[in-house]
Structure formats: C-alpha cells, structure tokens
C-alpha cells in the first residue's frame, strides 16, 4: 500500500459518534444481565439515534417492541443509563410507526416511570372538496379516500399460489385503472384470506400514483346505510351524483347487497354509468358470482364482464412468509422453529394466523417468557380450546401417549421399538382423521417425518383394522375421546 492509499483509507474511517459510544456502554451493561437470546431479540434491533445533552434517543422497530421494553427491561435500562450517562440520564424512544414509509413517531420516556406517549390522531374525516359534497359529517357520510387504510399495500401482501392471479390482476388494475380488461375486477374468497387487504392495496396504489384520480373505498354495508340515509333525508340525487363522479370505486363484500332490491337498483345505475365512462370498479365477495343468491341477474352478469379471481387458503410456504413479514413489521425476532410450528398448526386463514402471532407476543409479554415452541403450543392450545374445541394434533398425541403409557417424546422419536411404532402409527392415523392438517404437516409433528411415512402408517393401521379385532377396538376407544 502506498502512502497515498494509506491516507485515503484513514480519511474514510469516520470517528465514532458519541451516541454510539454511550449506547455501546449501555449494551455492555445489558448484555451482562440477560440471556443471549433475549439480548439478540430485544436489544440488537435497537438503533441509537442521537444524544442531546443527557437525553439518549433510541429507535425501536414498533409500538409492541417499545411496550415490551417498558414492561420487561425498564430497570435494566435505568441501570445502563446510570452507568453510561449518569443518574440524571434520560431515554427517549423513537418508534417506527410505518416501516414501509419510514415515518417516525417520537415518544419520550423518562426511565423508569414517566411515559408521555403521543397517541396517533384520529382520522380527520372531512367531506371531500374535490366533489363539492355537503354531506353531514357522521360515520355514514360521503367521504372519499378516508376509508382507505394506508397500512394495506402490495409490499406487505405476500404472494403465493393461493393468490397469484388476484394479486397480479390487482396490480395491473392499480397501474392502469380503467384501462385493462379487468373491469370490474371481482376478488372473492373465504373469511380472512386478504380480500380487503388486496383491494385496499389497489386503492392506495392508485391514490399514491395518480393524484388526479378520485378513489372511493366503501363497504357494501356502509353503501347501503348511506343509501337509506339519503332517501330519509331526501338527497338521493346527491348520493348517486357523488358515486357517479369517482374514478375508482372499490366496494367490499357485495354479498351484503343480497336481498336489498332498492340499493341494488341504485348500485346498478352507478355501475353502468362508471363502466361506460371507463372508470374502474373493484369488488369483493365471500363467494363466486354464480353463488351470490339474492342479487339481481342483471348485476351478476355485469360482475362477470371483467375478471373474477379467487383467494385460496395459503399453503405452508406462504404462511411462513406471512408470519415473517408480520414479525418484521413488528420488529420482533422469533426462532425459525417457532415460526414453522405456528405455520404448520394454523392452516385456516391469514387473520387467524396473525391472531396467533399477536397472542403469542402478548402471552410472552405477560408471562415474561421467551417466545419458543413450548409457548407457541400453549398459546395455540388455549386459542383452540376456547374458541373451537377442535381436536389438535397435540391433543391426539397426548391421548395416544397416555393410552399406551409411553412418553410423547417416544411417540415422536425415531425409535423402531414395537411399543412405540404401533402407537405412533395410530396417532398419525387419528391425526389424519380428526384434523385438517396435510400429510406433510402431520409428518412434521411426528419428529419431522415426511408425508410418505404418514401414508405408510395410515395404510398399516387400515390393514390391521381389517385383520385384528383388538386394533379395531382400540381405535374405537381412542376415537371416542375426540367426538
């Protein structure tokens, strides 16, 4: 290296910032006082932002993260501040409220006791000046855009086989509203599978990329209430005029219009008017148009003019990706085996999956435990027990292990001993019968076996049942526990 190169290298090394040094001292104290795993989870993601006199500002990834620190580590943080700044040191949190847009919400906390959180302001619902509407300001008044939730975006909508068509059609519509052949775009699917998320993402995208376009998102329920109010207040013309002026109409849960003839008549006219003008119409429904009973045929036939795309239950890999995205948004780190366990166990819909993750975080916060598979199991057990009384794979394993007086560990182990193999095969057989889990997931719950082992076990039990009355009797007994 020549002296010139050396001097260049030296010039590039920035001196450490004071805030980094101070936070480094804090971390030193913290690391000495808590397990490595907790340190990694709760302190590594923190970024020191600035030091203003004795006030240290740190950036935390989410509201949840901040609350966790406050609930669990406030005394440790005080100790760390005493060491690095002194007893009059103060800590200020900067919370990332929306990771996508990097907005920050300052929140000052004088460790250990004084919190001065700034609550987010309620949405400022105003009538929209672009339409000159004079509708009164109540919850069913006519307002634009404000019903769009900015948290729903394409970026945080995970793509998988379950939603590929709907997502790409949605994205095409968002890029060229009214100009594709997907007009109307009808997205349908079961509860909690992302219909609202997807159509709101389309609305948000259009709003952010086409300033002049007026986007209206409304649930069919709200639309109906507005319609009824407009008749009551003798302003039906204002109501239809309002909707006929929008560029993009997103109407959620159209199955709700079922049986409401007058509302359907008005919607029909609005639909025709907008469609003729090349305005974009986007709808969701909990079932395909052909199954929408109580809707007029003339509406149903129009729903089919554009594209109808469905959302299916996400597969295992998509569930993993959804959980990871959710954790990332919350700024939480959870070991992969826990994520895998939850993804294997919750295969109904995304809302439920998110619910489990939130319960898990809450549970961990309340009991001050690390988020591990054991905690996930207990959380899931409680949710399932309370809400559905559904048979879970854990229950099956517990009952079968008890029945044969072997341990659950043996039931799941690789042991080839006869006294373990037979109960294991029976448990897999019952898991197939009583849960909706795919074979791959059942195998996963039995020590990570693959789906062909599960098929083999089920075949063995079927054969034994036909040839051995004791086996048949055992199965009858075991079944009775789950019915």
Ligand X SMILES: Nc1ncnc2c1ncn2[C@@H]1O[C@H](COP(=O)(O)OP(=O)(O)OP(=O)(O)O)[C@@H](O)[C@H]1O
Does 194 show up as a binding residue in the annotation?
A: yes
- The CB-of-314 to ligand X minimum distance in angstroms stands at 7
Interior angle at CA 114, CA 108 and CA 119, nearest 5: 50
Query: Which of 170, 178, 184, 192 is the binder for ligand X (CB under 6 A)?
Result: 192
Residues 346-385 that bind ligand X (CB under 6 A): 350-351, 354
The least CB distance from residue 153 to ligand X, in Å, is 10
- For 473, the token pair is 């009797």
292 is an interface residue for ligand X by CB under 6 A: no
Q: Pick the binder of ligand X from 95, 185, 193, 281 (CB under 6 A).
A: 193
Between CA 277 and CA 40 the distance in angstroms is 56
Nearer Cβ to ligand X (94/255): 255
Verify binding: residue 8, ligand X, rule CB under 6 A: no
Output the smallest distance, CB 351 to ligand X, in A.
4
Told to check if 194 binds ligand X by CB under 6 A, we report: yes
Choose, by CB under 6 A, the member of 191, 277, 362, 409 that binds ligand X: 191
DSSP 203-254: HHHHHHH-TT--EEEEEHHHHHHHHHHHHHTT-HHHHHHHHHT-SEEEEE-G
- DSSP per-residue string spanning 21-61: HHHHHHHHHHHHHS-HHHHHHHTTT-EEEEEETTEEEEEES
The closest alpha carbon to 447, from 474, 418, 461, 427, belongs to 427
Report whether 196 belongs to an annotated binding site.
yes
Residue 286 binds ligand X, judged by CB under 6 A:
yes
435 is annotated as contributing to ligand binding: no
If one counts every other C-beta atom within 10 angstroms of the C-beta of residue 221, the result is 13
**Pairwise CA distance, residues 343 & 93, whole Å:** 32
Q: Is 101 annotated as a binding residue?
A: no
Contact region for ligand X (CB under 6 A) — 153-161, 327-335, 359-367, 445-453?
153-161
Q: Which stretch binds ligand X (CB under 6 A): 59-67, 88-96, 187-195, 292-300?
A: 187-195
Nearest residue (CB) to ligand X, 49 versus 353: 353
Asked whether the beta carbons of 75 and 55 are under 8 A apart, the reply is no
Detail the residues annotated as belonging to a binding site for ATP. Answer: 192, 194-196
Detail the residues annotated as belonging to a binding site. Answer: 192, 194-196
Contacts with ligand X, residue ranges (CB under 6 A): 156-158, 163, 189, 191-197, 286, 322, 325, 350-351, 354
């Amino acid at each position: 290296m020549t002296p010139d190169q050396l001097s260049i290298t030296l010039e590039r090394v920035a001196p450490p910032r004071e805030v980094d040094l101070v936070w480094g001292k804090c971390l030193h104290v913290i690391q000495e006082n808590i397990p490595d795993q907790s340190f990694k989870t709760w302190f590594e993601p923190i970024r020191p932002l600035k030091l203003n006199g004795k006030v240290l500002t740190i950036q935390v990834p989410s509201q949840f993260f901040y609350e966790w620190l406050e609930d669990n580590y406030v005394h440790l943080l005080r100790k760390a501040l005493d060491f690095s700044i002194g007893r009059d040191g103060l800590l200020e949190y900067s919370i990332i409220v929306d990771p996508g847009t990097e907005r920050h919400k300052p929140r000052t906390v004088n460790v250990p006791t004084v919190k001065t959180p700034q609550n987010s302001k309620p949405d400022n619902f105003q009538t929209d000046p672009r339409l000159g509407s004079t509708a009164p300001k109540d919850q069913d008044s006519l307002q634009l855009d404000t019903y769009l939730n900015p948290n729903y975006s394409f970026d945080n909508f995970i793509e998988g086989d379950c939603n590929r068509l709907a997502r790409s059609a949605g994205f095409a519509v968002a890029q060229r509203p009214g100009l594709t052949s997907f007009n109307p775009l009808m997205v349908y699917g079961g509860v909690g599978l992302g219909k609202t998320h997807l159509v709101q993402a389309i609305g948000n995208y259009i709003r952010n990329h086409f300033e002049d376009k007026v986007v209206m998102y409304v649930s069919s329920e709200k639309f109906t209430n507005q319609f009824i109010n407009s008749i009551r207040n003798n302003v039906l013309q204002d109501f239809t005029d309002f909707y006929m002026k929008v560029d993009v109409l997103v109407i959620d849960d159209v199955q709700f219009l079922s049986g409401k003839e007058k509302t359907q008549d008005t919607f029909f006219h609005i639909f025709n008017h907008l469609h003729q003008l090349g305005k974009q119409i986007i709808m969701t429904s909990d079932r395909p148009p052909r199954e929408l009973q109580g809707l007029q045929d003339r509406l149903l036939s129009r729903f089919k003019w554009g594209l109808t795309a469905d959302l299916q239950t996400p597969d295992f890999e998509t569930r993993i990706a959804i959980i990871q995205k959710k954790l990332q948004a919350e700024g939480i780190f959870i070991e992969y085996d826990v994520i895998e366990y939850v993804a294997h166990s919750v295969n109904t819909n995304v809302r439920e999956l998110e619910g489990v993750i939130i319960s898990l975080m809450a549970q961990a916060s309340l009991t001050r435990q690390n988020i591990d598979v054991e905690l996930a199991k207990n959380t899931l057990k409680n949710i399932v027990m309370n809400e559905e009384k559904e048979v879970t794979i854990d229950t099956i394993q517990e009952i079968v292990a008890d029945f044969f007086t072997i341990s659950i560990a043996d039931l799941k182990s690789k042991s080839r001993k006869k006294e373990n193999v037979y109960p294991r095969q029976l448990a897999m057989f019952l898991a197939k019968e009583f849960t909706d889990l795919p074979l791959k997931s059942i195998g996963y719950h039995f020590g990570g076996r693959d789906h062909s082992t599960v098929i083999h076990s089920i075949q063995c039990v079927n054969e034994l049942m036909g040839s051995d009355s004791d086996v048949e009797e055992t199965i009858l007994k075991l079944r009775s526990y789950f019915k």
